[in-house]
Amino acid sequence: MFYYISKKLFVSLITLFIISLFAFSLMHLLPGDPVINVLGEGATDEDIAYWRSYYNLDQPILKQYVLWVRNFIKGDMGVSLMYEEDVSETLARRLPVTLAVGIPICIVSIFFGILFGVITAVKRGTWIDQVLTTMANIGIASPLFWFAIMLILIFGMQLNILPFRGFVAPSENFVEYLKSIALPVAAGSLGFVAVITRQTRSNMLEVLNQDYIRTARANGLSEVSILFTEALKNALIPIITIMGMQIRIIVGGSIIIEQVFSIPGIGSWLIRAITNRDYWIVQACVLVISIVTVFSNLLVDILYGFIDPRIRKKWR
Amino acid sequence: MGGYSNRLLEVNNLRTSFFITEGEVKAVDGISYYIDKEEIVAIVGESGCGKSVSQMSIIQLIQSPPGKILGGEAIFEGRDLLKLNSSEIRRVRGAEIAFIFQEPMTALNPVITVGKQLSKDIRTHKKVSRKEAWNIATEALKAVKIPDPEKRMKNYPFEMSGGMRQRVMIANAVACNANLIIADEPTTALDVTTQAQVMELLVSIVKEYKTSLIVVTHNLGLVTRYADRIYVMYAGRIVESGTCKEIMKNPSHPYTLGLLKSVPKLDSDVDEKLIPITGAPPTLLNAPDTCAFLPRCPYASEICRCNSKPELHKINGGNHLIACYRDIARLKNEHDY
Ligand SMILES: Nc1ncnc2c1ncn2[C@@H]1O[C@H](COP(=O)(O)OP(=O)(O)OP(=O)(O)O)[C@@H](O)[C@H]1O
Ligand SMILES: [Mg+2]
């Protein structure tokens, strides 16, 4: 187990290294000098020289990379030239907001996805299966922003029962927080509920046809016990991959949700930075998102080992 | 022949069909058989003739839809298993009637240790603590001669060989003190040496614990050494039944004869040539009303073609039954084939 995890960890670090190279070269590969880009054509030579040396842009490129990584690890992601804001500070403020929306999306979609998946598999062919499966297919097919806008129109504007702009921190007012994330979470989980439902359903159907389920029945186990202790564990194995994918999208893919619902998280920040060519923010965001991605993949691999003894034993 | 008090299971006129889009598959078409206490009975027949479906029907293990038990009764220790509701039949499954399936590779849950699976089955039927269940399971593994049972309890199925897994299935039956073990082709998936070992073990367990055993197989050669009585099935029906000795000596249905010629005899001195039965197994879907073996039967005559399916009837005055108009054992003697 230890060997298995350390090996996966090693691979993760290599991946991170490669991604950091990409993120770093971003500034140097895109046309135009990043400093002039922000200060404008009319900037004085002294100003330009000052900021260039502030960002170590006057150093040899290899040294720039080393300095950049070192500062990043120390938690210093530089200062955004455009807004003169400290990138690390803003990140520390915006990341919790993204997580406060993203984690509920994660929980809601896994819970309902598995629940609906099991129901549709057990009740296959009945009306409840047909209704849920049709809804899942619609959920997979409909674009996120369309669904978000429909939610805003119905619950926000027509019924006027839920807020659809802005975000209230849970520490401020928990009830308001729940209200403020209701629509974003509904919009953000739809696709995942749909995907997980479909995947769980087909896995369950396959597992329920396996010989060991017949063995369990022949041994007199009850249907409920068979479902949750014998079948689900096997059916979950392929679903873990989807869940891992989801963690990554919570951080990176919240862009649309944050934009539509005006939530001050990483996603809306990244959009603004890209529009303004604010490389320092883009670099920081890309790196943070990559770190989350890499570690969620690592988590998935470890979970696999926990849930599937065949994988665990292989790494002994 | 035992008295009625000695009877463990008696199945009468069992009929099970599968209703699929093409029509009705009469997988089990009115079969009757019985097994006495401490008896070993073999059910023999080609693949697809309804052996498994007939056995699974008696503990209501048929998936419905598409399957449906259409009629008949299965009297087990005084009650009709087919009339039990789902929670009543669950208490019979595993506890009184234990099943051992053909595929040891897939019959155990791949992500649960052998010890946990056994303990869980024990705790389903017995009010014992986790620890007691674990001990019973370990003892059962010992009983089926798995070396190092304490360690093996913590193994996952994929860490065991096919023969070992089949022993685990037998241990399951032992641990739950079943009165009847139904082994559905328990050795088909194993290699020849392991086949013999597992079969020996099963028989010794049955003798030791005084349980009864129904062995389902398509290998007539394998069971002749152990079985007291044999039922030969063809196309969802029983075509010949009798004591093992009698059937070996006087196989009277052409299909039984074909089966005997197509498998090597373990205890024969002469080097007999093996002759496979020609033709394909019959379709059970919308089958004609004539004898199902007719298209493949080398002894078929006018009477077979003109009449509907022959019923089982006694021959030789005793306990030997066949469903055939021709009784080839007699033909043989008369005409010296
Ligand atoms: N779920 C099902 N749906 C439709 N037909 C089925 C189903 N299960 C079994 N059958 C049919 O029932 C018939 C008997 O099947 P069964 O499994 O009892 O055969 P068997 O004698 O055990 O053969 P084998 O030696 O291959 O195990 C087969 O012809 C099969 O086509
Ligand atoms: Mg079978």
B98 sits in which H/E element: strand B97-100
Please report, as a single letter, which amino acid is at residue B24. E
Nearest ligand atom owner, CA of B51: 1
Under 8 Å CB pairs connecting chains A and B tally to: 77
What's the rounded Cα separation, in Å, for the pair B266 and B225? 9
What is the Å distance from ligand 1's center to A207 Cα? 20
Q: How many CB atoms lie within 10 A of CB B204?
A: 13
pLDDT for B9:
93
Average pLDDT of the residues in B284-312: 82
Give the tokens for residue B138: 């370990």
What is the Å distance from ligand 1's center to B23 Cα? 15
Contact assessment for residue B93 and residue A217, using Cβ atoms and an 8 Å cutoff: yes
Nearest to B100 by CA among B157, B29, B52: B52
Sheet holding B180-184, edge to edge: B97-100, B180-184, B212-217, B40-44, B229-234, B237-243, B320-322, B313-315
Per the DSSP assignment, residues forming a β-bridge with B40 are B213
Place of tokens 């369990």: A216
> Of the CATH numbers 3.40.50.720, 1.10.760.10, 3.30.420.40, 1.10.3720.10, which one belongs to the domain with range A97-265?
1.10.3720.10
What's the rounded Cα separation, in Å, for the pair B242 and A116? 53
pLDDT for B336:
47
Of the pLDDT bands very low, low, confident and very high (cuts 50, 70, 90), residue B98 is: very high
pLDDT for B266:
56
A220 touches chain B (CB under 8 A): yes
Dihedral, A228, A234, A238, A239 alpha carbons, nearest 10: 10
Of the pLDDT bands very low, low, confident and very high (cuts 50, 70, 90), residue B333 is: low
pLDDT for B136:
92
Of the pLDDT bands very low, low, confident and very high (cuts 50, 70, 90), residue B1 is: very low
B116 touches chain A (CB under 8 A): no
Per-residue pLDDT reduced to its tens digit, B193-219: 888 888 889 999 999 989 999 999 888
B34 ligand 1 Cβ < 6 A: no
What's the rounded Cα separation, in Å, for the pair A42 and A36? 9
Those residues whose C-beta lies under 8 Å from the C-beta of residue A50, and which sit 6 or more positions away, are: none
Residues 223-282 of chain A with CB under 8 A from chain B are: 225, 229-230, 233-234, 237
What's the rounded Cα separation, in Å, for the pair A108 and A89? 30
B284 ligand 1 Cβ < 6 A: yes
pLDDT for B230:
93
What is the Å distance from ligand 1's center to B22 Cα? 15
Structural domains of chain B ordered from first start: 4-91+212-334 (3.40.50.300)
Higher confidence at residue B272 or residue B83?
B83
pLDDT at B334 over 70: no
pLDDT for B55:
94
Please report, for chain A, the start and end positions of each structural domain, with discontinuous segments joined by +.
1-82+276-316, 97-265
Enumerate the residues of chain B whose CB falls inside 8 A of the CB of residue A219: 93-94, 98-99, 121, 124, 172, 176
Q: Report the nearest-CA residue for atom 25 of ligand 1.
A: B47
B263 touches chain A (CB under 8 A): no
CA A243 to mean position of chain CA atoms: 10
Give the tokens for residue A10: 């090693």
| Per-residue confidence in pLDDT tens, chain A, 316 aa | 677 788 888 888 898 889 888 888 877 777 667 777 777 777 778 888 887 787 777 788 888 888 888 888 888 877 776 667 788 888 888 888 988 888 899 889 889 999 999 999 988 888 999 999 898 888 888 888 888 888 888 888 888 788 878 888 888 888 889 888 888 999 888 888 998 999 999 999 988 888 899 899 998 888 888 888 888 888 888 788 777 777 777 766 578 888 888 888 888 888 888 888 787 888 888 888 888 888 888 888 888 888 888 777 766 5
Out of A211, A218, A230, name the one closest to residue B93 (CB).
A218
What is the Å distance from ligand 1's center to A289 Cα? 54
